Amino acid sequence: MSLDPDFAAALQSRSIELDEEVAQRLQSYVLAMWRWNEQLNLTRHTTWDLFVGRDLRDCLQLAPLLSPGEEVLDLGSGNGVPGIPLAILRDDLDVSLAESVAKRAKVLSEMIDELGLPVPVYASRGEDLLDDFRFSTLVCRAVGSVAKLCRWIEPHWTNIDRMLLIKGPRWVEERNEARHLGLMNELQMRKVASYPLGDEPPSDDRPAADEADSDADADSDSSSDQGVIIQIWPKGRVLTVGN
Ligand SMILES: C[S@@+](CC[C@H](N)C(=O)[O-])C[C@H]1O[C@@H](n2cnc3c(N)ncnc32)[C@H](O)[C@@H]1O
């Protein structure tokens, strides 16, 4: 299958260079996802420009933050972002997907089978999986606030090393809320990637990125048009993954 000219153009306009086989596999994923999207509400990013400018952009920022061979859990995978593109971009990783809505988990399994990826899909709440499984990094986009995720993961820190959360400009508010609630007392947080959101209009399917952060100007770590990836891990823990 040749690369769709609109996909190629969307990559080129952002100066994104991908290995041809990787681009082909990403295209197969997106076409499968859009096909399922006609039956099930999986995404509103139904053009190549939106896929590249929003979904792939986040995954390309996330990929280099993971160490070789890491066991990664995508909590709240939904349409497969970031887990599936991550597994395609970094085939050395051991990626698993957790999706709590059974119908979506089933579709994720179908897509994974079609793509021939070695990625287990769990029809389960991600935090519940951590009762029985260990992962080095939990990744997550557009599932819940920092406070919510910290609460979910609080009893499970022995079974993950760190979280990498893909967030939008409101991450500072979310961080402050988590601190205010005392949820960060035993945790540390570091911004490990920051990148322009570019031409992105407000989006309400990306709750963390839907409007400018009013605190942003007061915080040198933040800007109203930046996407960020934040790393959260327990105080005192020396991470052997990431950098
Ligand atoms: C808004 S979608 C985001 C999908 C995808 N991560 C993205 O960035 O486009 C959130 C998904 O997380 C799932 N979800 C919510 N809480 C969850 C949990 N605790 N464990 C696993 N899945 C969860 C929902 O069913 C939904 O499919």
Q: What is the pLDDT of residues 79-121, one digit of tens each?
A: 999 999 999 999 999 999 999 999 999 999 999 999 999 999 9
For atom 9 of ligand 1, the residue with the nearest CA is 81
| Per-residue model confidence (pLDDT) at position 201 | 44
Exposure string for 75-87, b = 16+ CB within 10 A, e = fewer: bbbbbbbbbbbbb
- Choose the weakest-confidence range: 70-74, 144-148, 208-212: 208-212
Which protein residue has the closest C-alpha to ligand 1 atom 24? 76
Query: Known binding site for S-adenosyl-L-methionine: residues?
Result: 76, 126-127, 141
Q: Average pLDDT of the chain?
A: 90
User: Exposed, middle or buried: residue 160 (CB in 10 Å: 0-12, 13-18, 19+)?
Assistant: buried
Question: Which of 30, 41, 54, 100 to mutate to test ligand 1, by most ligand atoms within 8 A of the CB atom?
Answer: 100
- Indicate whether 213 belongs to any domain: no
Q: What is the mean pLDDT of residues 18-44?
A: 96
Rounded to whole angstroms, the Cα distance separating 131 from 121 reads 16
pLDDT, position 27: 98
**Side by side, which strands form the sheet with 94-98?**
121-122, 94-98, 71-75, 135-141, 160-167, 226-234, 187-196
* CA–CA distance, 87 with 82 (Å, rounded to integer): 9
Query: How much is the pLDDT for 210?
Result: 29
Q: What is the pLDDT of residues 65-76, one digit of tens each?
A: 999 999 999 999
Q: Is residue 35 part of a domain?
A: yes
The reported pTM is 0.91
**164 domain-assigned:** yes
Q: State the pairing for strand pair 71-75/226-234.
A: unpaired
Ligand 1 centroid vs 195 CA: distance in angstroms? 23
Mutate to test the pocket of ligand 1, among 143, 152, 200 (most ligand atoms within 8 A of CB): 143
pLDDT at 223: 54
Q: Is the pLDDT of residue 229 over 70?
A: yes
Cα(146) to ligand 1 centroid in Å equals: 14
Tokens standing for 120? 């287990």
Mean pLDDT of 8-12: 97
Q: pLDDT value at position 185?
A: 97
Which residue, judged by its Cα, is nearest atom 15 of ligand 1?
76
What would the mean pLDDT of 28-57 be, rounded to a whole number?
Answer: 95
The mean pLDDT of 5-23, rounded to a whole number, is: 97
Residue 224's pLDDT band, with cuts at 50, 70 and 90, is low
pLDDT at residue 213 above 50? no
Whether residue 242 is contained in a domain is answered as no
Domain presence at residue 129 = yes
> Looking at ligand 1, which residue's alpha carbon is closest to its atom 23?
76
**CATH number, domain with residue 29:** 3.40.50.150
Task: Pull the structure tokens for residue 187.
Answer: 């945790």
Instruction: Look at the chain and report how many structural domains it folds into.
Output: 1
Average pLDDT over residues 122-151: 98
- 1 CA distance to ligand 1 middle (Å): 31
Nearest-CA residue for atom 17 of ligand 1 = 76
Domain region containing 37: 5-200+225-234
Residue 243 inside a domain? The answer is no
Partner residues linked to 232 by β-bridges: 163, 189
Query: Is 47 strand, coil or helix?
Result: coil
